[in-house]
Amino acid sequence: MALRPDRRRARRVDAYSHGVGRVGVVFGGPSPEHDISILTGLQAARSLAGAGRDVCALYWTKSAAWLRVPVEAEARDFLDPEPTGAVEVELRVPDGFQERRRMRSTALELDAVLNCCHGGPGEDGTLTGLLALAGLRVSGPRPQACALAMDKLATAAVAAQCDIPTIPTALLGVDGDGAELPPAPWVVKPRFGGSSLGVEAGVEDLDTARALAQQGVGRAGTLVQPLLDGWHDVNVAARTYPTIAISEIERPLRDADTGGIYGYGEKYLAGGAGMESAPRELPAQLPNEIRARIHEYTRQIVENFALTGAPRIDFLWDGSDGLVLCEVNAIPGAWGTYLWDAAGVSREQLFDDLVAEAVKGPVLDPQWAASSDGRALRAAGTIAAKLA
């Protein structure tokens, strides 16, 4: 259940609770959501430091270099290629983050890493897997769950197997084949990605859809869905530590000129506080039956997608009885702090619990264990013989 508003701020964050010492907060990365990730990371680093954590802010540049930056850095500092006060670090497997010195490198000695990288390799499981291989405990879902959530086609397929209603979704073939596409008008969106980047609503012809598939993140795969005109976005978050809980539900308020989608500008550019200041109805005014279905579908998604951390799940509602899953965000913008604040969970507590969950989890997945015993190598002949 969502936490009751009258329990707001009931739980306080104690410095070094959960037995956690130094926390790394990673943000940025080679992704179209690079800038939003910086904002999320800076907020998380500042909040954790204010709660008494020893925080190491780690900036992943657009060129995939790593820099340790001051926790008190501001967004404008990252308009330059290298923020003031940045120190070059490197990520080593299996030794984790190392700060380069003149004579030798020094390990940063992180107990856990809070991953604040949205989109691209930061959210699709690539970074999580790399950090785990480097011996670091990382917040959020495991790599396999991240990859599933990032793939909108796979997400729809798994949700359908769980009897969760989804938007009819067709893959636009690499040759632009549209034989199986639903009736127009369409929403054309990248198969992998988020934040409404590259999403176009109201497309009515195959040539336009093909052109979109050749641009930006759409080149990795493009989906076509019917335009659900007049439907409302309704979003909710879940977290899995210390127990499974569901946040308050929001209904973002769209601009009538955006063509039927909740766009990047509305999410992140509407006010000085970014996504937290975007126009929304919170809590969303929903029928009890729709609210109950959102809670039930969210629990099913958390369980069947093997999600951890604090993912956000986005639905579309027709204003009556219709409700469909839109997408799953493994590492949502701003970590959905405004949704948890409305449910009585402070951002300090949210970030602290994300770190605590990471600390209590395994570094490597069990299936990654190197358990081979060499028998196949000893039994093998020469490679030349195998190629004959």
Give pLDDT tens digits along the chain (388 positions).
Answer: 343 333 333 333 443 355 568 999 999 999 999 999 999 999 999 999 999 999 999 999 999 999 999 999 999 999 998 999 999 999 999 999 999 877 788 999 999 999 999 999 999 999 999 999 999 999 999 999 999 999 999 999 999 999 999 999 999 976 656 568 899 999 999 999 876 788 999 999 999 999 999 998 899 999 999 999 999 999 999 999 999 999 999 999 976 544 556 555 665 555 555 567 789 999 999 999 999 999 999 999 999 999 999 999 999 999 999 999 999 999 999 999 999 999 999 999 999 999 999 999 888 887 887 778 889 888 988 999 889 8
Sign of CA dihedral 70, 72, 75, 76: negative
- Distance from the Cα of residue 326 to its chain's centroid: 15
Q: In 53-101, which ranges are E strands?
A: 54-60, 66-69, 87-92, 96-99
What was the pLDDT predicted at 168?
Answer: 95
Domains, the chain, ordered by start: 5-147 (3.40.50.20), 150-343 (3.30.470.20)
Q: Which two three-digit tokens encode residue 300?
A: 């099913």
Which pLDDT belongs to residue 265? 60
Q: Residue with structure tokens 């104690």? A: 14
Closest CA to 322 of 189, 184, 183, 228: 228
Which residue, among 294, 295, 266, 265, has the nearest Cα to 280 in the 3D structure? Answer: 266
| Residue 270: per-residue pLDDT | 56
Whether the CA torsion 148, 276, 71, 63 is positive or negative: it is: positive
This prediction has a pTM of 0.88
Predicted local distance difference test score (pLDDT) of residue 11: 35
Identify whether the C-beta of residue 188 lies closer than 8 Å to the C-beta of residue 224: yes
CB atoms within 10 A of CB 300: 14
Cα 106 to chain center, whole Å? 30
Radius of gyration of the chain (CA): 22
Looking at residue 278, what is its pLDDT? 82
Q: Do the bridges between strand 54-60 and strand 66-69 make them parallel or antiparallel, or are there none, so unpaired?
A: antiparallel
Helix, strand, or coil here: 291? helix
Question: What phi and psi, each to the nearest 5 degrees, are found at residue 306?
Answer: 55, 45
Tokens of residue 380, six digits: 């093998």
Q: Which residues contact 224 (CB under 8 A, 6 or more apart)?
A: 169, 170, 171, 172, 178, 181, 182, 186, 187, 188, 203, 209
Q: Quick one: pLDDT at residue 179?
A: 60
Q: Any residues with CB less than 8 A from the CB of 237 and at least 6 apart, and which?
A: 246, 247, 310, 311, 312, 313, 332, 336, 339, 340
Dihedral class, residue 19 (left if φ above 0, else alpha if ψ from -120 to 50, else beta): left
Q: Please report where in the chains the tokens 């809670």 appear, as a residue.
A: 295
Distance CA 88, CA 69 (A): 9
